[in-house]
Amino acid sequence: MESPPWVLMVVLLGTLGVIHLVQAQGQQGFISLDCGLPATERSPYDEPKTGLRFSSDENFIQSGKTGQVRANPGEYLKPYETLRYFPDGFRNCYNLNVEKGRKHLVRAWFIYGNYDGLGINPKFDLYLGPNPWTTIDLQIRVNGTRAEILHIPTSNSLQICLVKTGTTTPLISSLEIRPMGNGTYITKSGSLNLFARIYLKDSDTYIRYPSDIYDRLWTSYFMKEWTQISTTHEGSSSNIYVPPKGVLATAATPTNSTAPLTIEWSSSNVNDQYYLYVHFAEIQELQTNSTREFNVVWDGETSDPIVPAKYKIDTLFRRLPSTCKGGECSLELRRTNRSTLPPLLNALEIYTVTEFPQSETNETDVVAVQNIKAAYRISKISWQGDPCVPQQFMWDRLNCSNTDMSTPPRITYLNLSSSGITGTIAAAIQNLTQLEILDLSNNNFTGEVPAFLGNMESLVFINISWNDLNGSIPQALRRKGLDLFNQGNPRLCLSGSCLPPKPKPFPVVIVASVASVAIIIIAVLILVFVFRKKKPSTVGALQGPPSISPAVNVTYDNSSVSSIQSSKRRFTYSEVTNMTNNFQRVVGEGGFGIVYHGTLNGYEQVAVKVLSQSSTQGYKQFKAEVDLLMRVHHANLVSLVGYCGEGNHLALIYEFVPNGDLRQHLSGKGGRSIINWGIRLRIALEAALGLEYLHSGCIPAMIHRDVKTTNILLDEQFKAKLADFGLSRSFPVGGESHVSTMIAGTPGYLDPEYYRTSRLTEKSDVYSFGIVLLEMITNEPVIDQARTKTHITQWVGFELNSGDISSIMDPNLHGEYDSRSAWRALELAMSCANPSSTRRPSMSRVVVKLKECLVSENSRRNISRGTDSQSSGEVSMVIDTGMFPKAR
């Protein structure tokens, strides 16, 4: 049987309600933070008016500076007179311990109060975990505002983040968390964002704790068409919502006894979904022949007739949310034909549904990385909030699995290289059970290499080079499929026993020592002689990465790729023929041959790059690409599945990226869609992250040398992956700042400084990336002989003289972009393409700047979609949801 749309809550409190009442009155589970209060001052303290116990927020956030309101000091309660502001970073987050699975009231207060003397009210975004919650606009709410939501945390940690979206500085005055009663405010989905919570009284007072055991804040509201009624009778709340007794003491009825009691409001977002909670109690002494009975009408649904209980509040609510036609909302209480008295209303709560679709990172991974952060005392501003999502705020030097929004991301890559870390390798690392790549190189780690690293089944790459580790390498780390790099640890034993030999009595010790030294010297001389005569054919997994130089001249024979040591699968030429259906479908042309579509295991799509027999440089590029793809693992680089090295038949098999290349989606050629500005910025960021990994995450560092739009591939979700590493070169590790090499690359993208000097640095990739970014902005050819300014940098530089960015932006965007993000991206592209390499930013800096652009564009898109809750909160009933409790 289908449940009725309206539900009247008449369940008595009982034992459970009493327990909740006692707990709430004792503030159990309450978190009350006075943001900006120095911990050296009296903390915690009891706020005199409410009795709430407030503490400093210093232990709940690692960043920000403190300030105090200057405008109207003493007007507000003590917790709202101090504030914390965040001039640094783009996302600053509080981390709070809560009870997983229980509904909580989350409330944050914001008041500028001209704390900095600049008179510039800020505007910024507020996030709950990885999801946008609301926009805080103190340029509109100049006297301060609050945000409040009823939310069920999906983990025992609740993260509330302030995100910078423009030039102003985010701030927060107070943060309050209150656990709610079980079974209250149940929704079909989503959380409940407070729209209004009112009690009907003709005054300017408010009610909160201790009158309300959950510390809900009730604002008084009254209209001239109503008549005020009140009582001094001590009533009771008869349901689990437990409205405060102050709400019970007053009510409103329409002055015209035959008219309905109507409350109306409007919203600019016609798609807002509402939940209403209507509270009423009979607080008048009725005559024997008097009757009060009414229906509640909302969204075309009429409740059953209601006779309010005497001195006992009941709550009426809907099981499902409703929208308002055209954004115009109206709630009516209509007297029935049998009623002799008008309808009555004590209080009303209105909430809008806020969906949080992005799942938080897997809780076990979050706890693990937080423990790692604590163990190594990492205090980066960028290491706040959810580690993986949203992607523009992903912790730097960390990567995660890319799944749908409903699946919690997993951490797959952790790079702590060159972080100045001391101590042992933290045991918390083993709790990152999906970790594939771990780089701990160039630190000061001591102690033994833990065996648990070898037991982490997902790990395929570990770099512990250049530390001070000792002992022997555990047997578990010698498993097949795991690449371990450990050079630069002089006290680390590579094989055999690490126990020192037993001491021998003199003179045997001296004789043995002299003999040992002589043997060692002879052995070293023999090895030097042999290695000069013959290059070793294999490199052990424990001795460093395989060395495959693209400059080595070789012949095609049956042993042409015998030196490749990898966990990747080696295929026969017959298998390559079968997987490509005899090379039936060509999907492109790579650095050394044709690329074919293939199918592996009957379902897995792959791309097969086959070396052309006529290619003179092909084998060098083949070996270079194998060298790089064998030892790099990153979400924004194409991944190698395997290779073929059978006689003259050489092929690379790597993941198939089905959405073509970036160039196609800028031009719309081949039936490809033209991507919007927000997606372009995300693609640029992801490509930059791939390059940053090559420059900073690889040892030795790698230079791509052929960054261009056709080498940026896009998967089903338009996630960017750098491809074609045939021209890539290792960056020197011996202290030099460049390598000298034959000129290679694509005209137009080629670094002019590298072209003149043959000196290759990572800034050569930065130049090429700048050209790619200019293509994404303008959709202009890199070189166009028909233009007066043939090269794209010259053309953009000439157009910039007009000061009108619309003449530069791709006309296919039809003006749909945030001008601030467009200008920032353009400035970044031109700085990357600076003729002087010393004036170009690093790829790490490029990543930071692109994140800023993406934040700005996302803010514009949210506003255009009507998700700015401050603008949608304008109501005709003039409910001030930004009201601050005054000190009076």
Are 781 and 812 contacting, i.e. CB atoms less than 8 angstroms apart? no
Residue indicated by tokens 């259906």 = 581
Question: Which phi and psi angles does 571 have, rounded to 5°?
Answer: -105, 150
Domain 30-184 falls under CATH 2.60.120.430 = yes
CA atoms within 13 A of residue 299's CA, in its CB half-sphere: 15
Are 173 and 28 contacting, i.e. CB atoms less than 8 angstroms apart? no
pLDDT at 506 over 60: no
Are 384 and 348 contacting, i.e. CB atoms less than 8 angstroms apart? no
Task: With H, G, I as helix, E, B as strand and everything else as coil, classify residue 316.
Answer: strand
For the chain, the C-alpha Rg in angstroms (whole number) is: 34
CA atoms within 13 A of residue 144's CA, in its CB half-sphere: 26
Question: Which phi and psi angles does 50 have, rounded to 5°?
Answer: -100, -25
The DSSP code sequence of 324-339 is -GGGEEEEEEEE-TT-
Q: Which two tokens stand for residue 3?
A: 């449940």
pLDDT at 698 over 50: yes
CATH tag, 193-356: 2.60.120
Quick: pLDDT tens for 323-361.
998 889 999 999 999 999 999 999 999 999 999 999 999
Higher pLDDT, 513 or 34: 34
pLDDT at 509 over 50: no
Within 8 A by CB and 6+ apart from 418, the residues are 441, 442, 443
- 569-655: CATH topology: Phosphorylase Kinase; domain 1 (3.30.200)
* CATH of the structural domain 390-493, one choice from 3.30.1480.10, 1.10.540.10, 3.30.70.100, 3.80.10.10: 3.80.10.10
Residue indicated by tokens 């000129």 = 743
CB atoms within 10 A of CB 18: 10
**Alpha helix positions (H), 534-661:** 573-579, 618-631
Mean pLDDT check: name the lowest of 342-346, 360-364, 555-559: 555-559
Are 124 and 135 contacting, i.e. CB atoms less than 8 angstroms apart? yes
Domain coordinates in residue numbering, the chain: 30-184, 193-356, 390-493, 569-655, 662-728+741-864
Q: Annotated catalytic, 706?
A: yes
Q: Residue 384 — very low, low, confident or very high, per pLDDT cuts 50/70/90? A: very high
Q: Which of 113, 215, 201, 99 is nearest to 158 (CA)?
A: 99
For the domain made up of 662-728+741-864, the CATH class stated in words is: mainly alpha
Q: Which two tokens stand for residue 334?
A: 């209509």
pTM > 0.75: yes or no? no
**Alpha helix positions (H), 75-122:** none
469-471-476 Cα angle (round to 5): 100
Catalytic residue among 706, 724, 765, 810: 706
Average pLDDT, the chain: 83
pLDDT at 96 over 60: yes
Task: With H, G, I as helix, E, B as strand and everything else as coil, classify residue 851.
Answer: helix
Q: Residue 20 — very low, low, confident or very high, per pLDDT cuts 50/70/90? A: very low
Q: Which two tokens stand for residue 761?
A: 């640095």
> One fold for both 30-184 and 193-356?
yes
pLDDT at 515 over 70: no
Quick: pLDDT tens for 652-687.
898 899 888 999 999 877 667 789 999 999 999 999
Q: 609 among the known binding-site residues?
A: yes
Are 562 and 576 contacting, i.e. CB atoms less than 8 angstroms apart? no
Q: Provide the strand spans (E) within 604-693.
A: 604-611, 640-646, 649-655
Residue indicated by tokens 């090379």 = 583
Q: What is the pLDDT of residue 696?
A: 86
What CA–CA distance (Å, rounded) separates 487 from 313? 74
Q: Which of 599, 622, 773 is nearest to 683 (CA)?
A: 773
Are 168 and 122 contacting, i.e. CB atoms less than 8 angstroms apart? yes
Q: What is the pLDDT of residue 548?
A: 28
Higher pLDDT, 217 or 494: 217
Quick: pLDDT tens for 288-321.
899 999 999 998 889 999 999 999 888 999 889 9
